[in-house]
Amino acid sequence: MKIGIVLGDQLSHSLPTLAQLNKQTDRLVMAELADEARYVKHHQQKLALIFSAMRHFAAELRSTGWQVDYHAFGEHGFHSFESLLETVCDGAEAVVVTHCGEYRLQQRIEHHWQKSAGVPVHCLEDSRFLCAADFFQRWASGKKQLRMEFFYREMRRHTGLLMEGDEPVGGQWNFDSSNRQPYKGKTPLPPVLAFDRDEIDRDVLALVSEEFADHIGTLDDFQWGTTSAQAQQALDHFIEHRLRHFGDYQDAMVTGEDTLFHSLLSPYINIGLLDPMVVCQAAEQAYFSGDAPLNAVEGFIRQIIGWREYVRGIYWLLMPDYAKENRLGNDRPLPSYYWTGETKMHCMAECFRNTLDHAYAHHIQRLMVTGNFALLLGVLPEAICQWYLEVYADAFDWVELPNTLGMVMHADGGYLGSKPYAASGSYINRMSDYCKHCQYNVKTASEPDSCPFNSLYWHFVHRHRQQFAGNHRMRMIYRNLERMEAAKVDAMLQRAERLLADPDAL
């Protein structure tokens, strides 16, 4: 008899662990463990989603003939996988598990599990990703600096998505320049998708509310699907109601509108309830059927086979040293409003509200608002990385760390992205209505009521001149700085210094 361990982000019937085992002779083990739930203080909705999805998946496995030993939180004495293995492996000949999504846990699988289990541990490659680790290593080999765009083109060829032979459908690879429209309210917003709650959901919500009340967020408006069928509903809903406008408005932000035309599929993909290739094929079919334009479909597929696979490749290529990168020498703590949401900056308050209420914010809210502000402040990369890992339902270390440390904080010296995603309030004003509702003035940078993003942006550019003045993508910025009157520059920098002295007051 073999024991198959199924992790909380491996809720897929195509999991290699299941393919390796025999329903008649082997057993599956799943467990809600304190060490995994509390190593960072995960958002309450993130825990509720994973625990409920795990329990539903265990029920699905049993219905198809698997023997599943499920250990629910609070109903066993196991705190870690090691303590679990010491007990459940009695009489087993081996343990089978699929490669996990986090370096921390993978090291324990490789170096500690066999001792705890007392039998061999076989760790299988996770074939649910579209780019195998060795494929990415070969692609990255010999390159001093990687570029997602070129990796993405390889993945288009590799998967055949939106391809005509060896050429991209529509004659170009990337339609990002068409996907930058602010939302003005003329296009009707999609209907809200709501899921019925069953006894498993209710039990989990009660458990998380009681056991994890000190974790960030609230369960008051828990909207996530927790079964494979509900995840498929979410995919169908996106294809029918959101995809056609996703491209145009994927960078837009609107006060009080938390999702616009975004898919909200990443949590389901990242825990295994949806297969990434199936998701991409559904979007591709919408284009070929005339139900969605190419700019929307290409932009959506790029997020999955481009960015998602790219950051995973970087993670496993460069860990563990990558997590320690801090090329800009940042050391400031995160301001308190990253946890409370209480700030006078309307754009930040809106993103925090969405985060606290739903364990969600779309990629521009993360990159160009909360992330951009952490970059401009000079926050310690480790601090903002941990915050993103804690607060979002789709955050797992393999996807969160490269996105935050590399793309948001530019702490890797440009390995992931060629320039820092630093921006003033002008970008936020262009892509949202946030500034219209804010007490700060987005048009100025040196006055007492000037938008903090403006003052801090020029302070960031000034203090990192040595690192970025030679960057060809930032030459125009430094030319603009050089053209400014010295008195204006001094006033902006003085305003920024006052903000940096007490960022919690903003």
- The structural domains of the chain, with segments of one domain joined by +, span 2-124, 133-318, 337-505
Rounded-to-integer distance, Cα 26 and Cα 66, Å: 8
Asked whether this chain's domains 133-318 and 337-505 adopt the same fold, the reply is no
Rounded-to-integer distance, Cα 24 and Cα 18, Å: 12
Q: Looking at 25-72, which runs of residues are DSSP E strands?
A: 27-31, 67-71
CATH topology of domain 337-505: DNA Cyclobutane Dipyrimidine Photolyase, subunit A; domain 3 (1.10.579)
Q: Given this model, what pLDDT does residue 206 score?
A: 98
Kindly report the number of other CB atoms within 10 A of residue 108's CB atom: 17
Give bridge partners of residue 379 from the DSSP assignment. 332
CB 271 within 8 A of CB 228: no
Rounded-to-integer distance, Cα 337 and Cα 345, Å: 10
Q: Given this model, what pLDDT does residue 180 score?
A: 84
Rounded-to-integer distance, Cα 276 and Cα 287, Å: 17
Nearest CA to 216 among 355, 399, 333? 355
Q: Looking at 310-463, which runs of residues are DSSP E strands?
A: none
pLDDT by residue, tens only, the chain of 506 residues: 999 999 999 999 999 999 999 999 999 999 999 999 999 999 999 999 999 999 999 999 999 999 999 999 988 889 999 999 999 998 999 999 999 999 999 999 999 999 999 999 999 999 999 999 899 999 999 887 788 999 999 999 999 999 999 999 999 999 888 788 999 999 999 999 999 999 999 999 999 999 999 999 999 999 999 999 999 999 999 999 999 999 999 999 999 999 999 999 999 999 999 999 999 999 999 999 999 999 999 999 999 999 999 999 999 999 999 999 999 999 999 999 999 999 999 999 999 999 999 999 999 999 999 999 999 999 999 999 999 999 999 999 999 999 999 999 999 998 888 889 999 999 999 999 999 999 999 999 999 999 999 999 999 999 999 889 888 888 899 999 899 999 999 999 999 999 999 999 99
At residue 288, what is the residue type?
Answer: F
Which pTM was predicted?
A: 0.95
133-318 CATH: 1.25.40.80
At residue 112, what is the residue type?
Answer: H
Kindly provide the b/e burial profile for residues 394-414, where b requires at least 16 CB atoms within 10 angstroms of the residue's own CB: bbbbbbbbbbbbbbbbbbbeb
Compute CA 159 distance to the chain's CA centroid, rounded to the nearest angstrom.
22
The number of C-alpha atoms within 13 Å of 14 and in the hemisphere containing its C-beta is: 14
Kindly report the number of other CB atoms within 10 A of residue 350's CB atom: 25
* Helix ranges restricted to H, 392-451: 397-401, 425-431
* Helix ranges restricted to H, 290-341: 294-301, 309-318, 337-340
Residues 6+ apart with CB under 8 A from 147: 418
What φ, ψ does residue 272 adopt, rounded to 5°?
Answer: 105, -5
Q: Given this model, what pLDDT does residue 416 score?
A: 86
Q: Does domain 2-124 have CATH number 3.40.50.620?
A: yes
Residues 6+ apart with CB under 8 A from 99: 106, 123, 124, 125, 126
Residue 223, classified by CB atoms within 10 Å of its CB into exposed (0-12), middle (13-18) or buried (19+), is middle
At residue 346, what is the residue type?
Answer: H
Rounded-to-integer distance, Cα 334 and Cα 382, Å: 10
Q: Is the dihedral of CA 466, 471, 472, 474 positive or negative?
A: negative
First to last CA, the chain: 60
Instruction: Give the H/E segment covering residue 31.
Output: strand 27-31
* Edge-first strand listing for the sheet containing 67-71: 67-71, 27-31, 2-5, 94-98, 121-124
Rounded-to-integer distance, Cα 103 and Cα 106, Å: 5
Give bridge partners of residue 69 from the DSSP assignment. 29
Structure tokens at 412: 């890797």
- Number of helices (H), then strands (E), belonging to the chain: the values are 26, 7
Q: Is the peptide bond before 191 cis (omega within 30 degrees of 0)?
A: no
Rounded-to-integer distance, Cα 283 and Cα 20, Å: 31
The DSSP letter of residue 13 is T
Nearest CA to 260 among 238, 275, 277? 238
Rounded-to-integer distance, Cα 241 and Cα 212, Å: 35
Rounded-to-integer distance, Cα 452 and Cα 362, Å: 22
Compute CA 24 distance to the chain's CA centroid, rounded to the nearest angstrom.
38
Rounded-to-integer distance, Cα 65 and Cα 262, Å: 37
Instruction: Give the H/E segment covering residue 167.
Output: strand 167-168
Q: Given this model, what pLDDT does residue 143 score?
A: 83
